[in-house]
Amino acid sequence: MIVMKFGGGCLRDGSSVLRAARIASGRMAPSVCVVSALHGVTDAILAGRAAAAEDISAVPEIIGNLRQHHAAVIDGAISSARLRTSAHRSVEKRLARLESLLRQAGRDGCDPHDAAEVSSYGERLAAAVFAHTICGLGRRSEIWEADAVGLITDGKPENASADPGLFAVRVAPHAARAAGRRAIPVLTGFFGASPSGRVSTFGRNGSDYSAAVAARALEASRLEFWKDAAGFMTADPKVVPEAGTVRRLTFREASELASLGARILHSRTFEPLEEAEIAIRIRNLDDPRNPGTAVTRKRTGRRSDFKCVTSNPRIAALRIPVPSAGQGASLLARTLSCLAAAGATVTSMITTRSGHLLLMAAADAEQGWNAVKNLNGGAPPHAEIRRDIALVAAVGEGVLEQPGAAGRVLAALAREKIGIETAMLGASDVSACVVVARDEEARAVRTLHREFIKS
């Protein structure tokens, strides 16, 4: 079994959808495709939801624009008039439901699960288009909407977690039927269903996570992520023009890169795959002969090097001084409890006798700061939140086992007079991380790339 995931960057227009469908239909082994929304559609739906909440009369135009976009893709991807008609009908059926949800949101507002259902329609529409395109190439296909085929979550409306074991049981009859028909199922990414049947999503760009859950549940031998990039790069080519493709990463390196901000894969992609022996490869739709990046379980070769430099400007830091000796542990426990209650997730932290530094996503900064201010007795004196920072990391499994490697990271930045707000060296044996001022982010990435990779 092969699971292939096609991202929105691969589903831009009729010609790119057709290229993706040719790749999917060309596999002789049983396969399942997981799709994101067509490029730009999720943004359009979210903007439409906000517009409908302000003015319900905006709904017809929102639906009309989505209809026009999907119709253009269908007409560009499918040559059969019969299948084009069927695809238009399938899209229209889903647009009718979406229109009803948007009108309801305009009248009564959206609870979180209703909002999640609205945002799921990008993937539902894409699955309808993609399945019909596969049929247009002479293969059978089926639309698997995640909530209908048993992809059960923990029930959170956003940033939910799936249960691959339960999904394996629920999806088994659907998989058996598809195998009997020699059909290629097209599974909607990004969302699943709560135990009570309400839609819950895996967070923005969560279709990568959906594909990993599907691969685990279906006991796939291979998982392919088809992107509009050649795979993991040694650095962001917009920052480092000479950056190249990394041909091979270990599972731990790829997982670390995803969690640290490399946008090639969703940060939670590797969670369902921890104990699974599944070959993983990231491929480029525009260059299918390019082998891309392979993700393997074991380190290869005798030498350890940093393989990638990545950065993440979408972070904030809470700096909380400890008022007096002996209060540190208690203050940290109360702070973490308040942050968790506020829904602000701490991604890493450094603690000393005199203070705590907590890193979190920038999107959580405001609610995190409000939580700290609402601690018993208010925020400690001189507590502050920093939003003008970026995390920069060099990643390579085994490198920090080499004496002096961490020191070289700090020395390289010091030579360029790049100030370091804080460093996290040793928390992970896969990466060396520093926090710098945001306006130094690009220079820090270029410095570390030149020091460890270009040379």
How is the chain split into domains, by residue range? Answer: 2-228
Lowest mean pLDDT among 190-199, 218-227, 275-284, 401-410: 401-410
Q: What is the pLDDT of residue 426?
A: 65
Q: How many CB atoms lie within 10 A of CB 105?
A: 21
Mean pLDDT of 86-95: 98
Q: What is the pLDDT of residue 107?
A: 76
Q: What is the pLDDT of residue 307?
A: 92
Contacts of 241 (CB under 8 A, 6+ apart): none
pLDDT tens string 370-386: 888 877 666 677 788 89
More confident residue, 308 or 424: 308
pLDDT tens string 244-282: 999 999 999 999 999 887 888 988 999 999 888 899 999
Average pLDDT, the chain: 91
| Identity at 291, one-letter amino acid code | P
d(CA 125, CA 95): 8
Mean pLDDT of 197-205: 93
Query: Which tokens belong to 203?
Result: 């967070």
d(CA 211, CA 182): 20
Q: What is the pLDDT of residue 149?
A: 97
Share of the chain above pLDDT 90, in %: 68
Q: What is the pLDDT of residue 328?
A: 64
Strands 183-188 and 31-35, sheet pairing? parallel
Mean pLDDT of 287-309: 82
Which run of H or of E encompasses 252? Answer: helix 251-260
**Residue 299 pLDDT > 80:** no
Most confident of 105-114, 120-129, 258-267, 419-428: 120-129
d(CA 292, CA 227): 10
Distances (CA, A) of 131 to 21, 77, 138, 187: 8, 11, 11, 9
Q: How many CB atoms lie within 10 A of CB 338?
A: 18
**Residue 301 pLDDT > 60:** no
**Residue 300 pLDDT > 80:** no
Q: Where are the alpha helices (DSSP H) in 226-344?
A: 251-260, 328-342
Q: What is the pLDDT of residue 379?
A: 66
Q: Half-sphere exposure of residue 306, counting CA atoms within 13 Å on the CB side?
A: 25
Q: What is the pLDDT of residue 309?
A: 95
At the second CATH level, the architecture of 2-228 is 3-Layer(aba) Sandwich (3.40)
Task: Assign 304 a pLDDT band (cuts: 50, 70, 90).
Answer: low
Q: What is the pLDDT of residue 59?
A: 95
**Residue 93 pLDDT > 60:** yes
Comparing C-alpha atoms, which of 85, 160, 84 is closest to residue 119? 160
Mean pLDDT of 159-166: 95
pLDDT tens string 343-360: 888 888 888 777 888 898
Assess contact for 231 and 284: CB atoms under 8 A. Answer: yes
**Residue 89 pLDDT > 60:** yes
d(CA 382, CA 437): 20
d(CA 320, CA 444): 26
pTM given for the model: 0.90
**Residue 140 pLDDT > 70:** yes
